[in-house]
Structure 1
Amino acid sequence: MSPYAFEFEDGLVREWSLTDESAEPTTVADYAPSLFVAGPDDALADLRERLETDPKVTATRLERWATSLHEAHAGERSRVLRVDLERVGECRSLARDVRGVHERESHAPGTFRLFDADLAPGFRYCLDRGIDPTPARELRTLRLELDEAALADGDVAALSIAGESVDGDAARTLRTLRRRLERRDPDVLAVSHAALVPLLERRAAALGLADWHLGRRPGWTQLASENTYASDGRVGHSPARYRVPGRAIVDASNSFLWHQSGLAGIRYMVERTGRPLQEAAWGSIGTLLTSRQVRLARRERGVLAPWNKWEPERFTDVETLHAADRGGFTFAPVVGFHADVHEIDFASLYPRLICERNVSPETVGCDCDSGDGTGEDAVGSRRVPELEYEICDADGFLPAVLEPLIADRAAIKRRLEADPPEPAAARLRAESGAIKWVLVSSFGYQGYRNATFGRIECHEAINAYAREIALTAKRRLEDAGWRIVHGIVDSLWVTPRVDEPEPLADVIGEVSEAVGVPLEHDGSYEWVCFVPLRDAVGSAVADTNPAGATASAGALTKYFGKRADGGYTFRGIELRQRQTPAFVADSQRAFVEALDRERDPEAVCDVLGRRLTDLRSGAVEPTALAITKRVSKPLGAYYQRTHTTAALRRYERRGIDRHPGQSVEYVVVDDDARGPERVRLLLEEPRGYDADYYATLLVRACESVVSPLGWDRARIRRSLRDGRTVRLSTFTD
Structure 2
Amino acid sequence: MVLAIDYDDESVIEWRLSEDGVDRTVVDDYRPTLFFGSPVSELYGRDGGPDPDPKLAKRGAIPESLRDLRSFLDGQDAVANIEIDVWRQTFRSSARPVLRVDCRRVGDIRSVARRIHQFGDPDEHTCYNVDLTRQLRYTLKTDTEAAPDTSVRDLRTLRIQFPAHESGISALGQLQIDGGEIGSSPKEVAETVEHRISSVDPDVLVVDTARVVPLLFEAAAEYGLEPYSLGREPGFTQLASESTYTSYGRVGHSPARYSVPGRVILDRANTFFYSESGLDGCLDLVERAGLPLQELGWASIGRVLTAMQIREARSCGVLVPWRAWRPEFFRSASTLDTADRGGTTLAPEVGVHEDVYELDFASMYPNIIREYNISPETVRCGCCDNEAVPKIGYSICVRDGYLPDVLGPLIDGRSDIKRRIQETDDPEERATLEARSSAIKWILVSCFGYQGFSNAKFGRIECHESINAFAREILLDAKAALEEGGWRVLHGIVDSIWVTPAPEVAESDRRPLDDIATEVSEATRIELEYEGGFDWVAFCPRRGGDGGALTRYFGRRQGVEYPDEGLGDAVKTRGIESRQDDTPTWIAQLQSTLIRTLDRTHDAEAVVSELATWLGRLEREEVPPSDLLITQRVSKRAEQYRHETVTVAALKRAKWKDCALAAGQRVEYLVFDDDARGLGRVRLSHEELRGYDTAWYRKQAIRAAESVLSPLGWDRERIRRTLVGYRDSRLSAFE
Q: Specify if TM > 0.5.
A: yes
2:123 aligned counterpart, secondary structure: coil
Q: CA deviation at 1:554?
A: 4.7
- 1:90 matched residue in structure 2: 108
**Would you say 1:113 and 2:126 are equivalent positions?**
yes
Structure 2 CA distance for partners of 1:149 and 1:658, relative to 1, 3 Å: closer
CA distance in 2, matches of 1:206, 1:423: 45
Q: CA deviation at 1:499?
A: 4.5
Q: CA deviation at 1:168?
A: 4.9
CA distance in 1, matches of 2:640, 2:449: 31
CA distance in 2, matches of 1:158, 1:703: 42
**Would you say 1:647 and 2:643 are equivalent positions?**
no
Q: CA deviation at 1:369?
A: 5.4
**Would you say 1:289 and 2:294 are equivalent positions?**
no
CA distance in 2, matches of 1:85, 1:126: 16
Q: CA deviation at 1:205?
A: 3.6
- 2:607 matched residue in structure 1: 604
Q: CA deviation at 1:217?
A: 1.1
- 2:544 matched residue in structure 1: 535
Cα deviation code 1:390-417 (max 9, x no counterpart)? 1112111001001111111111112112
CA distance in 1, matches of 2:702, 2:506: 38
Q: Are 1:66 and 1:304, in contact at CA under 8 Å, matched by a contact in 2?
A: yes
Identity of aligned residues (%): 48
**Would you say 1:449 and 2:450 are equivalent positions?**
no
**Would you say 1:428 and 2:426 are equivalent positions?**
no
CA distance in 1, matches of 2:22, 2:403: 37
Q: CA deviation at 1:46?
A: 2.6
Report 1:592-631 matches (<5 A).
Answer: 592-631=595-634
Q: Are 2:166 and 2:659, in contact at CA under 8 Å, matched by a contact in 1?
A: no
Q: CA deviation at 1:460?
A: 1.0
- 1:512 matched residue in structure 2: 521
Q: 1:277 aligns with which of 281, 284, 293?
A: 293
- 2:377 matched residue in structure 1: 362
1:534 aligned counterpart, secondary structure: coil
Report 1:209-358 matches (<5 A).
Answer: 209=225, 212-298=228-314, 300-358=315-373
Q: Are 2:228 and 2:235, in contact at CA under 8 Å, matched by a contact in 1?
A: no
Q: CA deviation at 1:210?
A: 6.0
CA distance in 2, matches of 1:152, 1:456: 47
Q: 1:63 aligns with which of 64, 68, 85?
A: 85
CA distance in 1, matches of 2:626, 2:274: 26
CA distance in 2, matches of 1:677, 1:725: 33
Structure 1 range deviating more: 656-665 or 493-502: 493-502
- 2:38 matched residue in structure 1: 39
Q: Are 2:493 and 2:550, in contact at CA under 8 Å, matched by a contact in 1?
A: no
Instruction: Give the residue type in structure 2 aligned to 1:710.
Output: G
2:597 aligned counterpart, secondary structure: helix
TM-score normalised by L of structure 2:
0.91
- 1:547 matched residue in structure 2: none
2:86 aligned counterpart, secondary structure: strand
Q: Are 1:157 and 1:169, in contact at CA under 8 Å, matched by a contact in 2?
A: yes
Cα deviation code 1:27-60 (max 9, x no counterpart)? 1111111111223623223322222253222222
Unaligned runs of 5+ in 2: 40-62, 562-569, 731-735
Structure 2 CA distance for partners of 1:657 and 1:84, relative to 1, 3 Å: farther
CA distance in 1, matches of 2:358, 2:186: 55
- 1:487 matched residue in structure 2: 492
2:380 aligned counterpart, secondary structure: coil
**Would you say 1:411 and 2:416 are equivalent positions?**
yes
Q: CA deviation at 1:426?
A: 1.5
Cα deviation code 1:229-262 (max 9, x no counterpart)? 1111111111111111110111111000011011
CA distance in 1, matches of 2:706, 2:97: 65
- 1:124 matched residue in structure 2: 137
Q: CA RMSD in A?
A: 1.8
- 1:674 matched residue in structure 2: 677
Q: CA deviation at 1:155?
A: 2.2
- 2:48 matched residue in structure 1: none
Structure 1 range deviating more: 651-660 or 152-161: 152-161
- 1:557 matched residue in structure 2: 551
Q: CA deviation at 1:332?
A: 1.1
Report 1:562-577 matches (<5 A).
Answer: 562-564=556-558, 565-566=560-561, 567-577=570-580
**Would you say 1:663 and 2:666 are equivalent positions?**
yes
Q: CA deviation at 1:420?
A: 4.4
Cα deviation code 1:323-373 (max 9, x no counterpart)? 111221111111110111111101101101111111111111122357xxx
Q: Are 2:2 and 2:16, in contact at CA under 8 Å, matched by a contact in 1?
A: yes
2:92 aligned counterpart, secondary structure: helix
Unaligned runs of 5+ in 1: 371-380, 540-552, 728-733
Q: Provide the aligned length of Structure 1 versus Structure 2.
A: 691
Q: Are 2:158 and 2:206, in contact at CA under 8 Å, matched by a contact in 1?
A: yes
Q: 2:463 aligns with which of 448, 455, 458?
A: 458
Q: CA deviation at 1:675?
A: 1.4
Q: Are 1:152 and 1:655, in contact at CA under 8 Å, matched by a contact in 2?
A: no
Q: Are 1:14 and 1:27, in contact at CA under 8 Å, matched by a contact in 2?
A: yes
CA distance in 2, matches of 1:15, 1:684: 45
- 1:18 matched residue in structure 2: 17
Instruction: Give the residue type in structure 1 aligned to 2:555.
Output: G
Q: CA deviation at 1:123?
A: 0.3
Q: Are 2:277 and 2:439, in contact at CA under 8 Å, matched by a contact in 1?
A: yes
Q: CA deviation at 1:156?
A: 2.1
CA distance in 2, matches of 1:14, 1:22: 16
Structure 1 range deviating more: 210-219 or 690-699: 210-219
**Would you say 1:722 and 2:729 are equivalent positions?**
no
Q: Are 1:382 and 1:393, in contact at CA under 8 Å, matched by a contact in 2?
A: no
- 1:8 matched residue in structure 2: 7
Q: CA deviation at 1:84?
A: 1.6
Structure 2 CA distance for partners of 1:469 and 1:6, relative to 1, 3 Å: same
CA distance in 2, matches of 1:45, 1:603: 82
Report 1:154-173 matches (<5 A).
Answer: 154-166=170-182, 168-173=184-189
**Would you say 1:49 and 2:71 are equivalent positions?**
yes
CA distance in 1, matches of 2:163, 2:725: 47
Cα deviation code 1:575-602 (max 9, x no counterpart)? 1111111111111112111211221221
**Would you say 1:402 and 2:407 are equivalent positions?**
yes
- 2:198 matched residue in structure 1: 182
Instruction: Give the residue type in structure 1 aligned to 2:656.
Output: R
Q: 2:95 aligns with which of 51, 70, 77?
A: 77
Instruction: Give the residue type in structure 2 aligned to 1:195.
Output: R
CA distance in 2, matches of 1:197, 1:233: 32
Structure 2 CA distance for partners of 1:209 and 1:394, relative to 1, 3 Å: same
Q: Are 1:606 and 1:726, in contact at CA under 8 Å, matched by a contact in 2?
A: no
CA distance in 2, matches of 1:723, 1:629: 34
1:680 aligned counterpart, secondary structure: strand
Cα deviation code 1:592-635 (max 9, x no counterpart)? 11211221221111122222222222222111111111110122
**Would you say 1:523 and 2:532 are equivalent positions?**
yes
Structure 2 CA distance for partners of 1:725 and 1:598, relative to 1, 3 Å: farther
TM-score normalised by L of structure 1:
0.91
